[in-house]
């Protein structure tokens, strides 16, 4: 089980990447910053960075809105 933004809990599986988490959460907004257990993950690593079980993932969305 991993926790996203200190709120949403999602099932963890072997080999789960940051990109998988974003897909699962439906986070399509382009202005985001991701950290896994407080470690910043760069965009180019989303598809390969594997998330450990029990991770705390933070997906920070920059405010939008007209």
Partner 1 sequence: MAIKTKAGPKKIEISINGKAATVVEGTYLLNAVMDAGYNVPTLCHHKDLTPDGTCRLCLCEVEVNGKKKLVTACNYPVRDQIKVATTTDEIKKHRKNLAEMYLGRWPNVEVIQNIARLCGATDAEKYKSELTDENPKACILCGHCVRACNSFMIQDILGFAGRGIKRHLTMPFGDVDPHCVGCTSCSYVCPTGAIQITDDMNNPVDPELIRSHGMKVNAEMANLDALQNRMREVGTANIVEVMDAYDLLPVHNFKFGKHPDTHKIDSKVMKSKYFTQGAADACWLGCSMACAKAVDDFELKTGPYKGQKVVVDGPEYETAAGGSNMGGFDLDFIVEYNFYCDTYGIDTISFATTMAFVMEAFEAGIITEEYTGGKILNFGAMKETLECLHEMARGDGFGVEVGQGVRRLKEKWVKELGADPGFLQDIGMEVKGLEFSEYVSKESLAQQAGYAMAIKGPQHDEAWLIFIDMVNNQIPSFKDKAEALYYFPLFRIWFGLLGLCKIVWNDVAPADNSKYPPQEAAKIPDHVENYWKFFEGMTGIPVDEDKMLLQAERVFNLQRLMSYYLGYGTRKDDLPPLRAIGPATVEEYLSREERYDRQMKEDMGIDPEARTVEEKLSITRDYRYQQYNKVLDAAYKRRGWDENGIPTVERLKQIGIDIPEVMALLEKPEQ
| Binding test (CB under 8 A) with partner 1, winner from 22, 36, 51, 57 | 22
Question: Under the criterion CB under 8 A, does residue 47 sit at the interface with partner 1?
Answer: yes
Our finding on whether 61 is near partner 1 (CB under 8 A) is: yes
15 vs 26 by CB, closer to partner 1: 26
Contact pick of 13, 39, 40, 52 for partner 1 (by CB under 8 A):
40
* Residue 46 C-beta-side C-alpha neighbours within 13 Å: 14
CA distances for 5 relative to 10, 23, 30, 66, angstroms:
11, 15, 17, 24
């Amino acid at each position: 089980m991993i926790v996203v933004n200190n709120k949403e809990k999602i099932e963890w599986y072997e080999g789960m990447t940051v990109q998988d988490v974003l897909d699962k959460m439906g986070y399509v907004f382009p202005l985001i910053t991701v950290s896994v257990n407080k470690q910043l993950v760069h965009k180019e690593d989303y598809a390969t960075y594997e998330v450990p079980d029990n991770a705390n993932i933070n997906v920070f969305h920059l405010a939008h809105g007209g």
